[in-house]
Amino acid sequence: MDINSSPPTGAPSYLDPAHFGPWGIYLQQVERVRPYLGELERWIETLRRPRRILIVDVPIHMDDGRIAHFEGYRVQHNTSRGPGKGGVRFHQDVTLSEVMALSAWMSVKNAAVNVPFGGAKGGVRVDPKTLSRNELERLTRRYTSEIGIIIGPNKDIPAPDVNTNEQVMAWMMDTYAMNEGSNATGVVTGKPVDLGGSLGRREATGRGVFTVGQAAARHIGMDVSKSRVAVQGFGNVGSVSAKLFALAGARVVAVQDHQHTIYAEAGLDIPALMAHAVRGDALNDFPGAQVLGQDQFWDVDCDIMIPAALEQQITATNAARIKARMIIEGANGPTTPEADDILQARNVLVVPDVIANAGGVTVSYFEWVQDFSSFFWSEDEINARLVRIMQEAFAVIWQVAQDKQVSLRTATFIVGCTRILHARDLRGLYP
């Protein structure tokens, strides 16, 4: 029997990759890093088993008097390098497998940029668009109370993710602080600036996407100012990334959200499109843009593609159609391992999520530090530190990819997993 496994019982374990989509993808990515771990490979099960999984029932009063129940999760994948850290998403398709994978990608990401955090993630299986503001607040507060037994400024620090924002973080912070009976601004990041949030946090993920995109473009001799960019997802990450590429002179020719795809040969006016989206207007009503079918997005003639929506968007079925020379993953987990192989064979550079979108958690780290010291930095200082961390981390990863002749994803996993397992090894087991 493999000494690393629990005795077989016949029933599939929640860790079984065959039964769990995104978690299975993450496990395949871990296998790709195994040959490069050296002595630390003896700790590899640490990466293959989340440290702690909490599944909670979230009952709330609906405005019409009914009582509704939602399923919530918080997974702490690893805490060897520091407290758990990672966002909370509200989405109707959230599953345990997804939250497990997202928590693991946080561990790798935090280690790759060397911020002193482990990895965690949370989610509630709910479509927040179907809730009133009061229902959303009750859901957030009840979920926070339920996971309150494992979160805290020194234990695990949530943040925004898909469909959660500064207001949701304000409610989470308030609920935790009220339950604790003390101030606890450091329990979440991505808060409003007036509540101990950090300047620059809202734009940080997009700024990080742009920063590593620029660095990667230099390595392959691509001129960003002359590039054509296609963006999937126009939330916080997609819209800010698009804005920064457009500011650098790139033409953002296509934008897709979960309902529509729009295209403009001369480039879309991104600030105008952001204002359009903030008003709640549908993408296909944007003046001057051509409306494409959702599937046509993958055929758009572009140099850079930025998936900034959900997981498993670039798959074996569409990877061969992508015209871009470079993909920068604003989303977590947008590319499957099969698609990674197709893209690599076609010489398309994939800048993986675990470095490309690390700007958000990097400024979350700054926010957490500022909350502890109650001393707040200027936006320029924050952006300068963010850019420096992202550039330095990317340079190390690029070098590892060159030296070992591996993809940037495997290189980032080599850097991140080595740091995690080295910390694991130094700490040892207790009890």
Q: Which residues are catalytic?
A: 121
- The one among 137, 161, 203, 371 contacting ligand GLU by CB under 6 A: 161
Closest to ligand GLU by CB, 190 vs 352, is 190
Closest CB to ligand GLU among residues 205, 214: 205
Q: Which of 74, 85, 202, 228 binds ligand GLU (CB under 6 A)?
A: 85
175 versus 357: smaller Cβ distance to ligand GLU:
357
Rule CB under 6 A: say whether 416 interacts with ligand GLU.
Answer: no
In angstroms, give the least distance from the CB of 159 to ligand GLU.
3
Distance CA 276, CA 25 (A): 36
Q: What is the C-alpha to C-alpha distance for residues 331 and 313, in angstroms, rounded to an integer?
A: 10
C-alpha to C-alpha distance for 221 and 215, rounded to whole angstroms: 10
Residue 360 contacts residue 189 (beta carbons within 8 Å): no
How do beta strands 326-328 and 304-307 pair?
A: parallel
To ligand GLU, the closest distance from the beta carbon of 111 in angstroms equals 13
Shortest Cβ distance from residue 187 to ligand GLU (Å)?
Answer: 12
Which lies closer to ligand GLU via its Cβ, residue 211 or residue 227?
211
Q: What residues between 189 and 228 interact with ligand GLU by CB under 6 A?
A: 189-190
Tell whether residue 119 is a contact of ligand GLU (CB under 6 A).
no
Total binding residues toward ligand GLU, as defined by CB under 6 A:
12
Contact predicate 360/212, CB 8 Å: no
Q: Which C-beta is closer to ligand GLU: that of 86 or that of 200?
A: 86
Q: Phi and psi at residue 389, in whole multiples of 5°? A: -60, -45
Q: Which of 87, 123, 208, 235 binds ligand GLU (CB under 6 A)?
A: 87
Q: How many degrees, rounded to 5, is the angle at CA 387 between CA 386 and CA 391?
A: 120
CA distances to 49, 74, 413, 417 from 429, rounded to whole Å, are 15, 23, 23, 18
Q: Is 388 helix (H, G, I), strand (E, B) or coil?
A: helix
SS3 351: strand
Contact positions with ligand GLU (CB under 6 A) in 303-332: 332
Question: With binding defined as CB under 6 A, does residue 159 bind ligand GLU?
Answer: yes
Amino acid at 400: V
Q: Which residue lies nearer to ligand GLU by CB, 237 or 283? A: 237
Residue sitting closest to ligand GLU (CB) = 87
3-class SS of residue 196? coil
Closer to ligand GLU by CB, 161 or 371: give it: 161
**Residues 342/316, Cβ–Cβ less than 8 Å:** yes
State the chain's maximal CA–CA distance in angstroms: 65
Q: How far is CA 304 from the centre of its chain?
A: 19
Helix, strand, coil percentages in the chain from 3-state DSSP, rounded to 5: 50, 15, 35
- Measured from the CB of residue 361, what is the shortest distance to ligand GLU in angstroms? 4
Q: Give the interface segment with ligand GLU, choosing from 84-92, 209-217, 299-307, 371-379 (CB under 6 A).
A: 84-92
Shortest distance, position 204 Cβ to ligand GLU, whole Å: 8
Query: Per CB under 6 A, which of residues 356..375 are in contact with ligand GLU?
Result: 357, 360-361, 364
Cβ atoms of 255 and 241 closer than 8 Å: no
CB of 358 to ligand GLU, least distance (A): 7
Q: Which stretch binds ligand GLU (CB under 6 A): 48-56, 57-65, 80-88, 398-406?
A: 80-88
Residue 426, phi then psi, degrees to nearest 5: -65, -40
Q: Could you tell me the smallest distance in angstroms from the CB atom of residue 298 to ligand GLU?
A: 24
Give whichever of 313 and 364 is closer to ligand GLU, judged by the CB atom.
364
CB of 122 vs ligand GLU, minimal distance in Å: 10
**Strand ranges, E, within 151-288:** 156-157, 228-232, 251-256, 261-263
φ/ψ of residue 54, rounded to 5: -120, 125
From 142-150, 252-260, 282-290, 353-361, span contacting ligand GLU (CB under 6 A): 353-361
With contact defined as beta carbons under 8 Å apart, do 297 and 307 qualify? no
Interaction site with ligand GLU (CB under 6 A): 85-87, 159, 161, 189-190, 332, 357, 360-361, 364
